[in-house]
Structure 1
């Protein structure tokens, strides 16, 4: 289904939260949406891999990495897992790496920036928790819509309502 976040804001402004962060796009898809699964980690991507391997196809994984720019939480290998499993996309409040390869993947990937350093591998973090960053308060099952204008979130699928 086609959409524009600007049109969603015009039609459903009272039901949406709009991110104050300007994410950079790293995947081939510039526009994506879906029900979300949440993940909270800090400079450790073990749970990112686990989530990418287990969340249902069509899910949009939102990773709150605490805004850290000191290492990457996603690279080409994890991006390929997400693409091959049919995830709707990935949004990271943190960094990615292998950006030359990520841009070739047929999936939406947004992050604050890039950093070539890999993350820790301790398995610390929480999945399925409420996240708050960039003016958004997100819970598992909420819907997130992303395009070149920005990221918006709703408690239900507003695209199922006729625009």
Structure 2
């Protein structure tokens, strides 16, 4: 899929105005039944976090190594461009953080729209002060240096799923997340899903107006059908 940067920005901004619940329903209708991510990928600020962006994948694994840094992590992050959302695959690692405040600030300066981390994060208080949404599996003060290292980026990865053990995420698939959870939208159908989700959002707004005006729920369902 080849889209201009302006078009990508427009799509990203429009997705921020629809709910994951509506998008999940559209994906089901289109036959994409396993796009939801596991519920333990949770935002650091539950009621404030909403994020959308084009997946920039980063993969790593637990592995002991000498030295005082992870050069590949720095190289991977340097490839982020505006509209990307960093997606970190940790291979099920437990107990160490993949990034904290400083690397998040670097990503934000590059135009990254958020982070989805199948692993740990730290510096929670500082991250919470930034206008930078983060979803992660767990929190820990223990750094990754010497313990966990990036081994690839912008490759296909797996994340734990809601209705399947794994969900495949490819570079430039689309990530949408809000207080209900996170979804992966295959890049080939992003625009179709968005248009249908916007139509469903408008339909639900009319339903709320009718309910507020006194219409009964059975009458609403007769008028609009299942939603």
Instruction: Give the TM-score normalised by the residue count of structure 2.
Output: 0.65
Q: Answer whether contact 1:47 1:124 (CA < 8 A) is retained.
A: yes
Instruction: Give the TM-score normalised by the residue count of structure 1.
Output: 0.88
Mapping of 1:26-105 within 5 angstroms?
Answer: 26=44, 30-43=49-62, 46-105=71-130
The structure carrying a bigger helix percent of its residues is: 2
Q: Answer whether contact 2:60 2:90 (CA < 8 A) is retained.
A: yes
Paired residues, number: 163
Mapping of 1:75-154 within 5 angstroms?
Answer: 75-120=100-145, 124-135=150-161, 136-154=167-185
Higher relative contact order (CA 8 A, sep 6+): 1
Aligned to 1:83, what secondary structure does the other structure show?
Answer: helix
Whole-angstrom distance in 2 between the partners of 1:74 and 1:112: 13
Larger Rg: 2
Q: CA RMSD in A?
A: 2.2
Whole-angstrom distance in 2 between the partners of 1:3 and 1:46: 38
Whole-angstrom distance in 1 between the partners of 2:139 and 2:71: 18
Gaps of 5+ in 2: 1-13, 64-69, 162-166, 199-227
The structure carrying a bigger strand percent of its residues is: 1
**How big is the shift at 1:26?**
2.5
Whole-angstrom distance in 2 between the partners of 1:124 and 1:75: 15
Structure 1 runs, 4 residues or longer, greater than 3 Å off: 43-49, 121-124
Moved more, 93-102 or 149-158: 149-158
Residue of structure 2 in register with 1:155 after alignment:
186
